[in-house]
Amino acid sequence: MPVYKRTEITVETDRVTTIRRRRSFQVWCGTCRRMVDAVGVEEAGVLTGMKQTQVRDMAGAQGWHICEGWDREMVICLESVLKSL
Protein backbone atom coordinates (compact mmCIF):
# COMPACT_ATOMS: atom_id res chain seq x y z
CA MET A 1 0.00 0.00 0.00
CA PRO A 2 1.57 3.35 -1.03
CA VAL A 3 2.06 6.06 1.57
CA TYR A 4 0.84 9.53 0.60
CA LYS A 5 2.35 12.64 1.95
CA ARG A 6 0.04 15.54 2.81
CA THR A 7 1.33 19.10 2.57
CA GLU A 8 -0.53 22.06 4.04
CA ILE A 9 0.26 25.54 2.88
CA THR A 10 -0.85 28.46 5.03
CA VAL A 11 -0.89 31.92 3.54
CA GLU A 12 -0.96 34.91 5.86
CA THR A 13 -1.68 38.39 4.64
CA ASP A 14 -1.20 41.66 6.42
CA ARG A 15 -2.78 44.97 5.75
CA VAL A 16 -0.42 47.90 5.57
CA THR A 17 -1.73 51.42 5.88
CA THR A 18 0.60 54.32 5.34
CA ILE A 19 -0.26 57.49 7.18
CA ARG A 20 1.62 60.53 6.08
CA ARG A 21 2.88 62.65 8.95
CA ARG A 22 1.25 65.78 7.59
CA ARG A 23 -2.13 64.09 8.11
CA SER A 24 -1.50 62.97 11.67
CA PHE A 25 -0.35 65.05 14.61
CA GLN A 26 0.30 64.73 18.32
CA VAL A 27 -2.44 65.54 20.85
CA TRP A 28 -3.16 64.64 24.46
CA CYS A 29 -5.53 61.65 24.71
CA GLY A 30 -7.36 61.66 28.02
CA THR A 31 -8.24 57.97 27.71
CA CYS A 32 -4.68 56.85 26.93
CA ARG A 33 -3.35 59.51 29.36
CA ARG A 34 -0.46 60.45 27.12
CA MET A 35 0.47 62.20 23.90
CA VAL A 36 -0.66 60.16 20.89
CA ASP A 37 -0.85 60.47 17.13
CA ALA A 38 -4.30 61.60 16.07
CA VAL A 39 -6.13 61.95 12.78
CA GLY A 40 -9.03 64.09 11.70
CA VAL A 41 -12.47 62.76 10.89
CA GLU A 42 -11.69 62.68 7.17
CA GLU A 43 -8.52 60.59 7.63
CA ALA A 44 -10.31 58.22 10.02
CA GLY A 45 -12.95 57.74 7.35
CA VAL A 46 -10.30 56.84 4.79
CA LEU A 47 -8.73 54.32 7.19
CA THR A 48 -12.04 52.64 8.01
CA GLY A 49 -13.83 53.01 4.70
CA MET A 50 -16.62 55.09 6.28
CA LYS A 51 -18.06 58.45 5.31
CA GLN A 52 -17.31 61.43 7.55
CA THR A 53 -20.85 61.47 8.94
CA GLN A 54 -20.59 57.76 9.79
CA VAL A 55 -17.25 58.33 11.53
CA ARG A 56 -18.75 61.02 13.75
CA ASP A 57 -21.72 58.80 14.64
CA MET A 58 -19.76 55.56 15.10
CA ALA A 59 -16.70 56.89 16.93
CA GLY A 60 -18.09 56.23 20.39
CA ALA A 61 -19.59 52.86 19.46
CA GLN A 62 -16.27 51.69 17.98
CA GLY A 63 -14.40 52.57 21.17
CA TRP A 64 -12.33 55.26 19.49
CA HIS A 65 -10.85 57.92 21.73
CA ILE A 66 -12.16 61.32 20.72
CA CYS A 67 -9.76 64.15 21.45
CA GLU A 68 -9.66 67.86 20.88
CA GLY A 69 -7.11 69.12 18.39
CA TRP A 70 -5.05 72.27 18.73
CA ASP A 71 -7.65 74.24 16.79
CA ARG A 72 -10.49 72.79 18.95
CA GLU A 73 -11.47 70.44 16.11
CA MET A 74 -12.60 66.88 16.85
CA VAL A 75 -9.77 64.42 16.22
CA ILE A 76 -9.51 60.71 16.89
CA CYS A 77 -6.70 58.86 18.65
CA LEU A 78 -4.99 56.87 15.91
CA GLU A 79 -4.07 53.97 18.19
CA SER A 80 -7.70 53.41 19.15
CA VAL A 81 -8.73 53.37 15.48
CA LEU A 82 -6.01 50.89 14.51
CA LYS A 83 -6.83 48.59 17.44
CA SER A 84 -10.46 48.37 16.33
CA LEU A 85 -9.50 47.33 12.79
29 within some domain: yes
18 within some domain: no
Torsion angle, CA of 57/76/81/22, rounded to 10 degrees?
A: 130
Count other C-beta atoms under 10 Å from residue 2's C-beta: 3
Give 5-64 pLDDT, tens digit per residue. Answer: 888 888 787 766 666 655 667 899 999 999 998 888 888 888 888 888 888 888 878 888
Coil, strand or helix at 25: strand
Per DSSP, 63 falls in state T
How much is the pLDDT for 22?
A: 58
- Taking the model in full, what pTM does it have? 0.66
Residue 65 has pLDDT above 80, yes or no: yes
The H or E element containing residue 46 is: helix 41-48
Residue span of the structural domain in which 36 resides: 24-84
7 within some domain: no
63 within some domain: yes
50 within some domain: yes
4 within some domain: no
Contact 76, 83 (CB under 8 A): no
